[in-house]
Every structure is written in structure tokens, then in C-alpha cells.
Structure 1
């Protein structure tokens, strides 16, 4: 994450972080909420991206590794996993690294969760060409 201006609000910081990390995929999620829960979109900008992703201590690659692993382990978060697989690619993870992260989750979350994750990755990889 690039150094943040000190006068930046949580919302501004979150929007900047989301654009850097998720690009279009993240903004599509936010846009899809505009008609039903616009306040929730603000919460997404401020807390996960404005507060957590902008903390020092982990680089964006490490944050996306942990996020991909967690969403895979949940086994029921395919839409969010796809967004974060895209984000992982955006911050420098390779397809092979993402595949290995997901396969590692078979040990801790079971084969069904890992299979769901691999199919999500396959879809993202195919869409990206």
C-alpha cells in the first residue's frame, strides 16, 4: 500500500486502497449495493480497506494470501473469494501461488472447501485470459 496522506479520511483512504487492491472487481461489488444498502458500501470502504488494509505490518501480497486462505476455508464465500483472487493477481500473486494457497486449505478446511476454491480460481483465471 502506498503511503497515505495524513489528512485523508477513512472513506477516502478506503476508496484509494480498494482501487489499488481490487480495481474494477471491488468497485463492482460496491456499485451493486448502491440501490439496496449504500451505507454498507461506505462501511466496506472505511473499515476493511480504510482501516485494516492500510495498517502497517503486512504488505498487500501477504494480506491477500491470508484473505484467499480464509475465504477458501469458509467454503461458502465464492463471490468474495473470486474478488480476492482478482486482488491477489493485482498485487503480484501468481496463478500458481493462488492455486497452492487454496490447495493448502484442504488440510485445514477439507477437500470440499478446497475444491470450491479451486473452481472459483479456475473461473477467475479463465476470465482474465
Structure 2
């Protein structure tokens, strides 16, 4: 039986199922952690987060996941107010094949449209995400951390 604070989702809800599958494809455990973090305060918001962005928008044809994450990283960098979400989407961009060098160039370009502070903040977030990724990557011949 699901916990009482779990998002209310009808079994036949294909938007939710499609969104959850897309979220896992893009973010893996990081996306699931964001949803789980809402369980005690806003479980219905967690459902909306899965259904609309991932079930409806990210699941549309026309752009691949790589292009969608490039656009998302650019938008979140330009906003300048969404560092935690930017970190999640930088990790997601890496997961779907965007190279670190491309992300750095993308974030630097946002200085033209959103200002140097937004780009500097975005680069700081990228630095943290890259460092975390390096810490989690096993050295040649070593096993991955559990």
C-alpha cells in the first residue's frame, strides 16, 4: 500500500507513467530524489512535476532529449534564481550526451543575454556538478562506489 503522502495517481494515468519513465531516462536517481523530497510537503505538486514537464512536454516529438536539456540549462542559467534546478539539469544534460565543454560554452553565452552575474552563478553550479561527477567516477580498474 502506498504511503498516505504519496502523489495521488490513478492507475490508468498514462501522463504520469509516461512522465515518470521520461524522468528516469533523463535524470535517473536525481530526478526521483527531487520527487521524493516533495512527498512530505506537496505530494500533488510532485505529481504535477512528473505529468506536465516530463509526461507532456519532454515526451513530445520534435526535439531530442539532448536539445531539450541544452534549452533547459540555458533558461535556468538565464533565470539566475534556480541553482538547485540548474544542477539537476546540468547532470541530466551530461546523462543525455551533452559534453562538459558544450555546457561551459552555453553558460558563458548566457552572459550576453542574462548578464555576467547569471553566467558566473551558472559556471559555479557547473563546477560543483562536474566535481561531484568526477568524485563518483571510478578510476581506471576500480569498482564504482555503491
TM bin, normalised by shorter chain, reads: over 0.9
**How many residue pairs get matched?**
123
TM-score (ref. length: structure 1) = 0.93
Partner of 2:141: none
Kindly state the Cα deviation for residue 50 of structure 1 after the two structures are TM-superposed: 0.2
1:16 to 12, 21, 26: 21
Name the TM-score, length of structure 2 as normaliser. 0.83
| RMSD (Å) for aligned C-alpha atoms | 1.0
What is the aligned partner in structure 2 of residue 4 from structure 1? none
- 2:77 is the counterpart of 1:77: no
Deviating above 3 A after TM superposition, structure 1's stretches of 4 or more consecutive aligned residues are: none
- For 1:111 and 1:23, the matched residues in 2 are separated by 31
Q: CA deviation at 1:25?
A: 1.1
The Cα of 1:9 is off from its aligned counterpart by: 0.1
Partner residue, 1:3: none
2:48 aligned partner: 43
CA-to-partner distance for each residue in 1:77-99, whole Å, 9 max, x for gaps? 00000000000000000100111
Q: Secondary structure at the match of 2:98?
A: coil
Tell me how far apart the structure 1 counterparts of residues 129 and 29 of structure 2 sit (CA, whole Å).
Answer: 13
CA–CA distance in structure 1, aligned partners of residues 38 and 13 of structure 2: 24
Gapped regions of structure 1 (runs ≥ 5): 1-6
More helix by share: 1
